[in-house]
Amino acid sequence: MSRSNARATALLQYLLLLIGLAVFIGPLLWLVSTMLKTQGQSLEFPPRWIPDPVTTEAFSRLFRSLPLAWHWLGNSLLIAVLVAIGTVLSGSLVAFGFARTQARSKNALFIVLMATMMIPYQTTLIPLYLIYKNIGWYDTWLPLIVPSYLAGAFYVFLFRQFFLTVPRELDEATYIDGGTSWTVYTRILLPLSVPVLMTGAIFAFVFSWADFFSPFLFLQTAEKYTFIIGLQLLIGTQSQDLPALAAGSMISLLPIAILYLFAQRYFTEGVVLTGTKG
């Protein structure tokens, strides 16, 4: 390939990357622009990208309209953290059984487990609602947290694929030194699997933080709501206050952005390394 063709190819690649960047970052920039406008500016046509003047009154109106907003943020954060912890603990433990044990039926059971991923969540809502209501879990956080401690199929698959890449010679050396399966799990696999465990924790945190339907279905008391439900209430009462809605949306995005910022190295390593064997 000639130098001119190489430059043209590189230029085309950069152009495509810029277009992709504009597609993905454009809505975020518009969200930031809207939350810094006055209500009048947000309704102008044609719309302007740069607010004049820049104001943060939208945040004041947001918290006046939602006096429990900080409380709901705490609820969402606590639930998401507990879900992430439960997902990593239960998923990794079950994945260890599928990846390292010699049980004859483990492959058949793994297929059955994977088949559960094809069951639409909506088909289980009515049975789950009835179960939780009959055992007294309705209007509590338990339906949102406890299932994460029962090993979801996606996370079992994610962790198992990574565990299969760890050499079994490490297990044998541990057994020779007098260790047990629990030693292999806690001293060998978990320390070597930090990237994929962090990846699973990020996925679980984000899914829990952004989940609207489950809290909406199982929670009734306002003090127990999550922040996502609070935003929906704001849409119902202040649908014309676009800056306040944008401010609430930005607040809901910040924990996810901060989490990814500090854990992106583990996330990238987990995605790259998972699925290379098995």
Q: Could you tell me if residue 23 is inside a domain?
A: no
User: Structure pTM?
Assistant: 0.83
Q: Could you tell me if residue 204 is inside a domain?
A: yes
Q: Could you tell me if residue 53 is inside a domain?
A: no
3-state helix, strand, coil in the chain (%, to 5): 75, 0, 25
Q: Which two tokens stand for residue 222?
A: 């306002």
CB proximity list for 163: less than 8 A, separation 6 or greater:
95, 96, 99, 100, 189, 193
Q: Print the domain residue range for 93.
A: 64-273
Give the single-character DSSP code of 44: -
The predicted-structure confidence for 251-264, as pLDDT tens digits, reads as follows: 888 888 888 887 77
Q: Could you tell me if residue 20 is inside a domain?
A: no
Q: Which two tokens stand for residue 166?
A: 């760890």
Q: Could you tell me if residue 8 is inside a domain?
A: no
Q: What's the pLDDT score for residue 276?
A: 46
Q: What's the pLDDT score for residue 131?
A: 92
| CA 68 to mean position of chain CA atoms | 23
Q: Could you tell me if residue 84 is inside a domain?
A: yes
Q: Could you tell me if residue 230 is inside a domain?
A: yes
Q: Which of 81, 117, 19, 100 is nearest to 206 (CA)?
A: 81
The predicted-structure confidence for 95-120, as pLDDT tens digits, reads as follows: 998 988 887 888 888 899 888 888 88
Q: Which two tokens stand for residue 114?
A: 């994977």
Residue 267 has pLDDT above 80, yes or no: no
Q: Which two tokens stand for residue 35?
A: 């939350």
The predicted-structure confidence for 184-228, as pLDDT tens digits, reads as follows: 888 888 888 888 898 899 899 999 998 888 898 899 888 899 998
Tell me which H or E stretch contains 19: helix 3-35
Q: How many independent structural domains does the chain possess?
A: 1
CB proximity list for 190: less than 8 A, separation 6 or greater:
92, 197
Which CATH number covers residue 245? 1.10.3720.10
Q: Could you tell me if residue 241 is inside a domain?
A: yes
